[in-house]
Chain A
Amino acid sequence: MKFLDEYRDPDAAKRYSELIRSITTKSWNIMEVCGGQTHAIVKFGLDELLPESIRLIHGPGCPVCVTSLELIDKSIEIASNPNVIFCSFGDMLRVPGSKKDLLQVKSEGGDVRMMYSPLDAVKIAKENPHNEVVFFAVGFETTAPANAMAVYQAKELGIKNFSILVSHVLVPPAMEAILSSENCMVQGFLAAGHVCAVMGYNEYFPIAEKYKVPIVVTGFEPLDILQGIYMTVKQLEEGRHEVENQYARVVDKEGNLPAQNLVSRVFKVGTRKWRGIGEIPDSGLVLQDNFREFDASLKFGLAELVVDEPKECISGIILQGLKKPNECQAFGKLCTPEHPLGATMVSSEGACAAYYRYRIKP
């Protein structure tokens, strides 16, 4: 397939593999931030192509995985309401809450629908004026423009029975949280290409400077990732810590300005609780005051609900890259995609699920 096979070419992959080997003289720990990259790395077995001294650490960039248990419980509470049509991206439906998941709510008669776009949920709200329609707005900066557009449209059209349960998270604060933790092992980052397609990469210059880490904006195809790793290793070996852009065919420095404008009209930066990591200040998006009528959490009186994370799942440690999924006691035994203990085993972008699905077990 054009524009795809070129980036999956086995010979070019081998050449990159050799190139990386030829410049690597020390051990380096590199974190790929985005779950989509984790998925590609494990699906294509890219780590097999790397020298042993390069360790890839799988970052917290799967929005499903980092959505707090509290928000999952809120979603279940809202979806259980007989007057509600609850709309969500498919992956969220199987994430276990404290007692059940959204699929169970559906089986008990809840109207839970899988969507590809939040705009479809606005349409449903328009068609069903007597129901409350709620969209579970999860995601990083990548999905924020579409969710902002849904709220914006609903306001423009005067649709009162639509609201969103906001679980938006931001990448740069999460990277800073990882870099400033005392156990941090990360020496370089592959930044998430799609996030940067929206946001650009100006935000990363101060981070690279402050923590002395190379940050390479990287795509999602095998050759993108191998090239991103090569660029990161080259910087590390040469003692540089710069922001570079591997994914120039999609990303430019400023990003998508109309999308950013829309996001900042509808959302503002706020504190967000990350599953397994805890609260990170200024790490999420919340609705602007003039869009609060679309906040499902307020509408359904759930703003005060607080839920603590269970102890047995170490997804927080996995998400910070301190342990690999197969180093967890429960991995593949107590915790499988059919019976997940935590979200990292649920989402196709979750590190645990990716390991479970693709990894040749020793």
Chain B
Amino acid sequence: MKEFNLQCPIPINEYPRVLLAHGGGGRLMHNLIEKMFSSAFSNDILMQGHDSAQINLATNKIAFTTDSYVVKPLFFPGGDIGSLAVNGTVNDIAMSGAVPQYISLGLIIEEGFEMEMLWRVVQSIASAAEAAGVKIATGDTKVVDNGKGDGIFINTSGIGLIQHDLNISPKSIKPGDVILLNGDIGRHGIAIMAEREGLEFDHKITSDCAPLNFIINDIINAGIEVHCLRDLTRGGLSSTLNELAESANCEILINELKVPVHEDVRGACEILGFDPMYVANEGKFITIVPAEQAEICLNILTKHNSEASIIGSISSNNEAIVKLKSRIGTMRILDMLSGEQLPRIC
């Protein structure tokens, strides 16, 4: 990974905080872009310097997605709004089985935001983009009045190349298919919550924020006939499964004992009254594959995370419902979250 200059290139003593003029189109904005953004994100596409990026793509079929990030606090154990904004969009692209290539970066900064903070976010974006193998192809900066934002909001859009012939969609889900999960759940939501509420645990719970494109690549390159992929963000595992059950009109059966949850996350959930099944993740996804390929797929997932697990299956296509075999062996519904368990976690 590239070494980043830890010193902010905008002379902090000159402008310790972002001014409205930094988004005003004049010299200050030009300076900000030249000194901070261009130096951090430098690549051939961005350096074209047009109003829009011009890109030649290697495939006809692309995946295209957008997402906005308003997480509070901006920095949390295991990540920050910058790495989240890159990985979130990279992962949305990866869920089509696409290879993420370019992302756009829209920053909405509140007047008075510390320049040093902005520099930390920018470095984090650059480092996450490098790690995920994507280029920042275009960007935009706006500054809003003090009190009209909350530090910084980020929007990223992204495109990725679809190089496979699979039909990765809820419509491809079939009875008998097996559901795999790539590791433990609930860490992102609890890391944010612990930071926000000032909760302390023996070991700091860190967010699982990470890019998923390489692991998805491995699955597809291994020739697994992937029926569906979905990352578990807001609403957690439970909401994702319910969405899938609804769009595929199928019954999903999950074994609670097979869903890994770390001790510290379970403990925090017990204290806060949350159910880990509904807590957000930023580096977890489920793969739905034909039963005969489940073991091979599990092997690939396990290479990336030893806690990967087969958590359940599609039991029929009669009714859209998710059922959970509880840890004491009884059955119950795993319903979708109503309302918001934790606001502003991404």
Q: Report A's interface with B, CB cutoff 8 A.
A: 1, 4, 8-10, 13-14, 42-46, 48-49, 94, 116, 222, 336-338, 348, 356-361
Contacts and interface: CB of A to CB of B under 8 A. Distances in A.
Contacts of B329: 10, 13-14
A284 B335 CA distance: 35
Contact of A116 (B197, B327, B338): B197
B267 interface: yes
A359 B332 contact: yes
Contacts of A43: 326, 332
Contact of B270 (A4, A338, A360): A4
B328 A358 contact: no
17 contacts: A1-B270, A10-B328, A10-B329, A14-B329, A42-B332, A43-B326, A44-B330, A45-B332, A48-B331, A49-B328, A222-B328, A336-B338, A337-B338, A338-B339, A357-B333, A359-B332, A360-B323
Contacts of B339: 94, 337-338
A46 B330 contact: yes
B273 A348 contact: yes
A358 B328 CA distance: 15
Nearest to A222: B328
Interface in B257-272: 263, 266-267, 270, 272
A4 B328 contact: no
A360 B331 contact: yes
A321 B29 CA distance: 66
B327 A1 contact: no
Nearest to B330: A45
A46 B330 CA distance: 7
A322 B266 CA distance: 35
Contacts of B270: 1, 4
A257 B273 CA distance: 26
Contacts of B333: 357-361
B267 A1 contact: yes
Nearest to A103: B339
A292 B272 CA distance: 31
B329 to A, nearest CB: 5
Range of interface residues on chain B?
A: 10 to 19
A1 B266 contact: yes
A45 B335 contact: no
Nearest to B329: A10
A49 B326 CA distance: 12
B236 to A, nearest CB: 14
B190 to A, nearest CB: 14
Contacts, number: 57
A53 to B, nearest CB: 19
Nearest 7 A/B pairs, CB to CB: A45-B330, A337-B338, A358-B332, A13-B328, A357-B335, A10-B328, A48-B330
Of the candidates B197, B323, B331, B333, the one having the most CB atoms from chain A within 10 angstroms of its own CB is: B333
Interface in B312-345: 323, 326-333, 335, 338-339
Nearest to A39: B273
A338 B327 CA distance: 28
Given A44-B326, A44-B327, 7 more contacts: A8-B327, A43-B326, A45-B330, A49-B330, A356-B335, A358-B332, A358-B333
B65 to A, nearest CB: 27
Contacts of B323: 360
Contacts of A361: 333
B202 to A, nearest CB: 13
Contacts of B331: 45, 48, 360
Of the candidates A1, A14, A359, the one having the most CB atoms from chain B within 10 angstroms of its own CB is: A1
A8 B335 contact: no
Contact of A44 (B197, B328, B335, B338): B328
Contacts of B338: 336-338
A289 B136 CA distance: 65
Contacts of A13: 328-329
B345 to A, nearest CB: 14
B332 A10 contact: no
A43 B328 CA distance: 11
A45 B332 CA distance: 6
A361 B339 CA distance: 21
A42 B328 CA distance: 12
Nearest to A43: B332
Nearest to B257: A10
Contacts of A9: 328
Contacts of A338: 338-339
A101 to B, nearest CB: 11
Contacts of B327: 8, 10, 44
B328 A1 contact: no
Of the candidates B197, B328, B331, B338, the one having the most CB atoms from chain A within 10 angstroms of its own CB is: B328
Nearest to A353: B338
A1 to B, nearest CB: 5
Contacts of A359: 332-333
Contact of A8 (B272, B273, B328): B328
A338 B337 CA distance: 10
Contacts of A1: 263, 266-267, 270
A322 B220 CA distance: 56
A150 to B, nearest CB: 17
A316 B260 CA distance: 40
Interface in B225-272: 263, 266-267, 270, 272
B98 to A, nearest CB: 34
Contacts of A45: 326, 328, 330-332
Contacts of A14: 329
